Amino acid sequence: MNDESQWLSEIANGSDQTFKVLYESYSAKVYNTITSYTQDAEELLQDVFATIYNTANKFSISRFSDILSCFLSF
């Protein structure tokens, strides 16, 4: 299991510390990607990470990794 898959599993189990690690690892890249499309980047960034936090138990691990890879490719 890669780091992101492990993190998602831990977040789904309620680990706020792991969520913080995920946020600190990816928020800048996600923010930069969003700003290339819209001026509402701060609000959308919050929405993205709130959705991850609130629905981590429903995410497919492989789909989550694909989404992160997409953001990292920009």
pLDDT in tens, the chain (74 residues): 467 778 888 999 999 999 999 999 989 988 998 898 888 899 999 998 998 899 888 877 667 666 666 666 65
In the chain, % of residues over pLDDT 90 = 36
* DSSP label at residue 56: G
Distance CA 41, CA 21 (A): 20
